[in-house]
Amino acid sequence: MAPQRGTGSGAEAELPAYSGQYRLESCLGSGGMGVVHLATSTSGLRLAVKVVHGEFAKDPEFRGRFRQEVAAARQVSGAFTAPVVDADTDSARPWMATLFIPGPTLAEHVKRNGPMPPGQLRRLMAGLAEALRDIHRAGVVHRDLKPSNVLLAEDGPKVIDFGISRPKDSELRTETGKLIGTPPFMAPEQFRRPREVGPAADIFALGSVTVHAATGRGPFDSDSPYVVAYQVVHDEPDLTDVPENLAPLVRACLAKEPEDRPTADELMGELRSVAASYDTQTFVTTQREREGAGWASAPGRAAGGDTRRNTGRDTWAGKDTGADPAPGTGTGAGNRGCGDGSDGRDESGRGGRARGGPRKRAVLVAASLVLVAGGGFASVRALGSDGGQAGGGTATPRAGGAASAPALEAWATRPAAKKKNAPQCSYGAGKLLCSQPGLVSALDPADGSVLWRHTVGRAGALGAGDPPVESGGLVQVLTDESRRAQALDPDTGEVRWERDISAYGAQHYVGGTLLLTAADGTVTGVDTATGDTTWSGRIPGQPEAYFTSFDGDRSAYVASVTGEGAGARTRITAVDPETGDVRWDARLEGHLEPVGARDGVLFLAAIGGVYPDTVAVVRYDPGTKKTVRVALPVRLEQARGVVRGDVVYLLSGSGGSLAAVDMAARKQLWRTETGVARGSAPVADDRHVYFTSSDGRLLAVDARKGRISGDTASRLGNSDRVTAALPEPVIIDGRVCVGALDGTVLGLDGSDPASW
């Protein structure tokens, strides 16, 4: 769907068609800070892209705050938040892309279904405590936790919209007379001494959110935000209708003094023993069907923080309201779509009658007090800083495990000292080939030493989403700015040939051929050794030829889907990349996407449901034309896979579930919850499955048992610009090499992940 265009002369009259490399497909909603769009990355991830309003983009102070928001959101990316995928705070219209997480907000759920029953309420409270524990461990205070910033995803609540961050050592300070937050969910200290707000303020907000979920109102309610402010500071909370076994914990969270409130860890401990009937599975990672009881998801809220339009039914806890959902709440429950930043009841404190008799009028709040309602500046304060960074330019050995030295010496190097972008790497010509914006580097995989560097145009000209590849005996590079293909000498990095590819919309290397696809579906094959055209033509039956290929396989595959739901069918065409000849063509039932190939046999993920969920794995043998289908006990959201022997490993792009499916035995071997909210595509050897996470870690999972074997320390770096595609690990003779988010490349012993 083309981007929505506004009308009129306002700042949003002409919305951008792209943010960075992402085409903005549709408008999800609008809030006080910007507009949120639905977009899809090159790898197929569904994203929520927040584009800042034009009026704020001209304000240097706002840009500084937005940079801090991006940094804070990156810092807390994990199982309980919406991971940041990409951002550019320096563009004409600053933007940030986060993973799209389907599910209604708590505000939407309560509005449609009424107060939560006790069991669901306990799960919510426990989930939020877990989320705050991880957020606070990352050194961040949210400072604007409220119902519209809690997503009810299928695997538990997600805390979103970190607003504008304010690190502890920042030069950006809260202005005198201006409070940052949403009054009904702010702690007393946010009114009295806003510069001293710490993690305890989030615990206070958790108590207020719990009351809202239990009753449909807040513990301090009034038509006036000024009265709400007075009540928060001076009055006792109204806990009428809060379940008796939870009321003492909620009251403790709402203590006036920060030191009197429990920490997130203490709260989780108390929740475990709150009652004999407590659902202990709240604290145990479980496998939940989307349609089953629990956090059954529905279209709801953009993970980028503002609102999305709801296009489905609210099925939280398996309950279908049977009614068409209202637009998302976001920064105001009355939000009316793009370009409308109106605030609503949840965010302003208006719209509900105070219970328990008349409230005292606020006398301490001056009439000139500026309350930033609606989450426009929902400030986050960082408590600490990132860990140490790798040195620049040279390789440095890393210590192995404490018990014994690893068989392969670990190393860490930074190909370019001043670059903080994640290197994307591949293996070819005996070298580790890595790309960063404007730079290609060749490293020795044995010790990480830099063999050569090649600059591509000005900084930023080389797309960092794809690594260089070895093809035709040369190092192949694609540039974003000039839209040229370059072939480099593998020993020196010098250009051997280059070619203008600006007329083509897609390109793919396979074997010794570069396949270029034009807008009309015509494909041109280029010999990567010489740069010469070898063939050109259409792929029969495939109007759009977007290719996929796999290591060790000789074919390039095109898959196209027709129909929807139970009537969907996929046409798969295997093409000889050197000649363009069709090797085989098949029409298979269902919506299928290739994930791997072995010995000419193709493995595919079967997609089902409203969202791109993997519901089964399919094995197709073109020689016998036989199909084997293995259903997954629990579907995986936005999964990507790798094939090793007869086993397909699938990693969810949202939630971190990793599953192993044995196609020979026709069963799922195991499934584990890694706790990674967003991971790279997995790679595997005979012992482990490896992938990277959005917080800059490399993880290894035992391929037989499905247990995490080891992971590295987080390497986030300090750049505001984050990678669009997480670096994929590369396995080279038992060593695992990978680019980190701080610009470092690591080489680790793959046989001993515990030593990492």
Query: 3-state SS of 417-456?
Result: CCCCCCCEEEEECCEEEEEECCEEEEECCCCCCEEEEEEC
More confident residue, 496 or 265: 496
Query: Which residues, 6 or more positions from 565, have their beta carbon under 8 angstroms from its beta carbon?
Result: none
Quick one: which of 315, 186, 199 has its CA closest to 265? 199
Instruction: Please tell me the distance from the alpha carbon of residue 152 to that of residue 107, in angstroms, as a whole number.
Output: 10
Quick one: which of 364, 376, 373 has its CA closest to 188? 364
Q: What is the pLDDT of residues 215-236, one digit of tens each?
A: 999 999 887 888 888 899 999 9
Q: What is the pLDDT of residues 610-627, one digit of tens each?
A: 567 899 999 999 999 999
Predicted local confidence at residue 457, as pLDDT: 63
- Whether 595 contacts 604, CB under 8 Å: yes
Would the pLDDT of 599 be above 60? Answer: yes
Residue 749, strand partner residues: 735
Would the pLDDT of 504 be above 50? Answer: yes
Mean pLDDT of 136-144: 82
Would the pLDDT of 469 be above 70? Answer: yes
Q: pLDDT class for 375, splitting at 50, 70, 90?
A: very low
Predicted local confidence at residue 316, as pLDDT: 47
Burial of 259 (0-12, 13-18, 19+ CB in 10 A): exposed
Mean pLDDT of 492-521: 93
The region of weakest confidence among 366-370, 568-572, 710-714 is 366-370
How big is the chain, counted in residues?
Answer: 756
More confident residue, 523 or 275: 523
Q: pLDDT class for 481, splitting at 50, 70, 90?
A: low
Predicted local confidence at residue 750, as pLDDT: 94
Quick one: which of 175, 146, 158 has its CA closest to 62? 175
Q: pLDDT class for 628, splitting at 50, 70, 90?
A: very high
Cα dihedral value 684, 688, 689, 691, nearest 10 = -110
Predicted local confidence at residue 254, as pLDDT: 96
Q: Tokens standing for 488?
A: 């480099």
> Quick one: how many helices (H) and strands (E) in the chain?
10, 45
Q: What is the pLDDT of residues 686-705, one digit of tens each?
A: 999 999 988 789 999 999 99
Average pLDDT over all residues of the chain:
77
Q: What is the pLDDT of residues 388-426, one digit of tens each?
A: 333 334 443 333 333 444 468 999 999 987 777 889 999
Query: Which residues, 6 or more positions from 159, have their beta carbon under 8 angstroms from its beta carbon?
Result: 80, 81, 128, 131, 132, 135, 142, 145, 149, 150, 151
The region of weakest confidence among 49-58, 366-375, 731-740 is 366-375
Q: pLDDT class for 82, splitting at 50, 70, 90?
A: confident
Would the pLDDT of 9 be above 80? Answer: no
Q: pLDDT class for 531, splitting at 50, 70, 90?
A: very high
Q: pLDDT class for 37, splitting at 50, 70, 90?
A: confident
